[in-house]
Amino acid sequence: MTTDIRPDMAELTDRETELFTWTKQWYPVAVVEFLDCDRPHGMQLLGKNIVLWRDGTGKWRCFEDTCPHRLAPLSEGRVESDGTLLCAYHAWRFDSAGNCVSIPQSKNEEIEAKHCANPKSCAVGYPTQERQGLLWVWPESGVKAQLESQERIPRIVPELEQESDRVLKVSANVRDLPYGWDFFMENVADPAHVPVSHHGIMGSRYQDAKYYDMPRVREMSVQDGFAFGITPTPPTIKEAIHDFQPPCHMRIVSTFTDGGQLILALYATPTRPGWCRTIGFQVLVKSEAGKTPPGLGFFAIPMPTWLGHILASLFLHQDLVFLHYQEKALASRGNKRWLDAVYTPNPQDKMVIAFRQWFEKKAGGAIPWADRANASN
């Protein structure tokens, strides 16, 4: 009788009692070059409605998408020429720190200054930073959050921190997808689906669905996730590693026999239940001889940005329907655990199983949405 191939459950005992804290992390929410600098942008993060906008110093800011006056969405407002964010409902203005600097309906300047000095007039701000072309948000507010955010580095690609002409970045794509963060991460932890779901772009479902094993190459931890390899690899590839770095990053590295590397930097940010925002790009590291490695299908070929957007959708939509309905099928089974609902007899499922174990045992088994009423909209 065939049994499921599952990692040693001993690692899931109570010896590691720390749980992953979802709100004390950096999340990539946008590709900076794709943002319109002259207007605010509304989105969601962990069920919170947030607004992104660029102030007069050229720095991107993130506020709760709610004006403290009458709770109108600031994302419907305007970025003014003086670098403030104006609420389009009653023209209250906010500076980059969230302080209210103008209440035009006030009787006089003295009363206006008094109302602006009241902490209740302030917008709620979240720490932000730009790194490697992405805008990152820390989903806690306040002085303590600002200090804590400075102590943690986002899940960046180390190779892009190097000043080397051997490292090439292929332009990014960003999509909001109608399935949850966990199903995205499960999907990219599963290389076995690639030639089947992405038939015609990344192989053949009839010829390339083959056996391989996935040995663990980095042990599981709460903060740093885990990594698995693939064996055997194709003749031109020396090593292939899938590296999950919570909460948002899957780093997939193929090292070729000549020393060149293809790095797929895949990010998924939980926006609201049943949805996630994905950002992905390729990094090509030339061999010491200067040879550029092959990229992912035809996506590494130089092309206009608009064409890259169109083709990224083609790729992502090939397996979108499977993930959407997988999520619905699991939800229809009530509180049944993922590990009990599926049948995973082959070693190709090892990393998917490890991901579901990490999610359940290390991260609480569910994303702590900030406001389920808002998150479902």
Closest CA to 356 of 346, 364, 347, 348: 364
pLDDT score for 17: 63
Return the residue matching tokens 């690692």: 11
Closest CA to 293 of 238, 255, 242: 255
Closest CA to 227 of 213, 209, 210, 214: 214
Tell me the one-letter amino acid at 71.
L
For residue 2 the two structure tokens come to 């065939």
pLDDT score for 295: 84
Residues of the chain with pLDDT under 70: 1-17, 371-377
Domains annotated on the chain, with CATH: 36-124 (2.102.10.10), 162-375 (3.90.380.10)
Which residues neighbour 241 within 8 Å (Cβ) at sequence distance 6 or greater? 217, 227, 228, 229, 230, 251, 252, 253, 255
Strands (E), the chain: 27-31, 41-45, 48-54, 60-64, 78-79, 85-86, 93-94, 100-102, 125-126, 128-131, 134-137, 167-177, 216-221, 225-229, 237-245, 249-256, 261-272, 275-285
pLDDT score for 298: 76
pLDDT score for 253: 97
pLDDT score for 372: 54
Q: Is 316 in contact with 222 (CB distance < 8 Å)? A: no
Residues 202-259 have pLDDT tens digits of: 889 999 999 999 999 999 999 999 999 999 999 999 999 999 999 999 999 999 999 9
